[in-house]
Amino acid sequence: MSGEDSRKPLNLSGAAGRKLIIAIDGPAGAGKSTIARHLARHFGLLNLETGAMYRAFALKALRTGLPLDKSADLEQLATETTIRLEPGEEENRVLLDGEDVTGLIRNPTVTDAASRVSVFPAIRAWMVRLQQQLGAEGGVVMEGRDIGTVVFPHAEVKIFLDAAPEVRGQRRFEQLGQDGRKSELQPEEVIRELHARDERDRNRADSPLKPAQDAVLLDSTDMTLEQAVSAAEAIVAAKLKLS
Ligand code: DC
């Protein structure tokens, strides 16, 4: 990155003998995935998208026809489910009971269901365990809602990425367009859906979406994604030179 102070080398090792962990949390549409992907490339780390794990479980619940508000049933389903996340260059490959469901988890139905199943403490505890195992050796950028607060509270770098709801809704709408689904939805609908999901993610009793006390806040409302990526790189570089 240009303008970086090159006098002190970055310290890419983490605590307790493991490698560095960068936690990126924030609401939908704030740019987490783009930023996490770039940071992973830039600093030579693996990128792990925890939302994809909740999405895969939601897909299974939908396929099974279980009501999404019955914790005990979902908990039982979790005991019969394996979810694997494999880091990739562009996006993570998600394996649900061995089946590659990467292309099936980004539609609005699964998106809404993921936010619903993720309110239950037993489901969260299971996911958090899996995520802690995945990142145990460090060397990762992990992206989600509770990475800096719950999954890796000792992460060396924590960024809480936010943006105004309208901006996030518009970005999400354009992203859907790139996936060839723009014509199915109006921008207002996308913004409404995003708002409903935000409310649920921020107000659930267990591990609500909120910045960790030691997170650096990055508001990308008035930034292009390129500018937000550069700002995030600068935050990481500054943190690592201080450690
Ligand atoms: O990041 P995403 O949009 O793929 O996440 C989908 C849903 O999963 C999100 O609405 C809330 C839930 N989630 C969570 O509760 N905790 C995480 N660490 C990641 C996602």
The pLDDT, as a whole number, for residue 209 is 95
The pLDDT, as a whole number, for residue 37 is 95
Which residues make Cβ contacts (< 8 Å) with residue 141, sequence separation at least 6? Answer: 22, 24, 36, 39, 40, 43, 45, 46, 47, 48
3-state secondary structure 27-91: CCCCCHHHHHHHHHHHHCCEEEECHHHHHHHHHHHHHHCCCCCCHHHHHHHHHCCCEEEECCCCC
Report which of 104, 78, 107 is spatially closest to residue 181, judged by C-alpha positions: 107
The pLDDT, as a whole number, for residue 5 is 55
Q: What is the pTM of this model?
A: 0.93
> Is residue 58 within 8 Å of residue 117, measured between CB atoms?
yes
The pLDDT, as a whole number, for residue 180 is 63
Q: Among 105, 147, 201, 209, which is best to mutate for testing ligand 1, by the most ligand atoms less than 8 A from CB?
A: 201
The residue written with tokens 């909120």 in the block is 210
For ligand 1, the distance from its centroid to the CA atom of residue 195, given in whole angstroms, is 14
Which residue stretches of the chain are H helix? 32-43, 51-64, 71-79, 108-117, 121-134, 165-178, 187-203, 225-242
Which residues make Cβ contacts (< 8 Å) with residue 116, sequence separation at least 6? Answer: 58, 68, 69, 200
| Residue 204 Cα to chain centre, angstroms | 17
The residue written with tokens 């590659």 in the block is 100
The pLDDT, as a whole number, for residue 181 is 60
**Domain spans of the chain?**
20-242
Q: Which atom of ligand 1 is nearest to the CA of 118?
A: 15
Q: Residue whose CA is closest, atom 10 of ligand 1?
A: 115
For ligand 1, the distance from its centroid to the CA atom of residue 115, given in whole angstroms, is 6
For ligand 1, the distance from its centroid to the CA atom of residue 222, given in whole angstroms, is 24
The residue written with tokens 């700002």 in the block is 231
Which residues make Cβ contacts (< 8 Å) with residue 133, sequence separation at least 6? Answer: none
Ligand 1 neighbours (beta carbon < 6 A): 28, 50-52, 54-55, 114-115, 118, 144-146, 197, 201
Residue 96, beta-bridge partner list = 83, 99
CA distances from 133 to 48, 130, 137, 152 (A): 12, 5, 8, 11
The residue written with tokens 């307790």 in the block is 16
Provide the residue type at 184 as one letter.
Answer: E
pLDDT in tens, the chain (243 residues): 444 556 677 888 888 788 999 999 999 989 999 999 999 999 999 999 999 999 999 999 999 999 999 999 999 999 999 999 998 778 899 999 999 999 999 998 999 999 999 999 999 999 999 999 999 999 999 999 999 999 999 999 999 999 999 899 888 888 777 766 655 678 888 888 898 999 999 999 999 999 999 999 999 999 998 999 999 999 999 998 877
To which CATH superfamily is domain 20-242 assigned? P-loop containing nucleotide triphosphate hydrolases (3.40.50.300)
The pLDDT, as a whole number, for residue 90 is 82
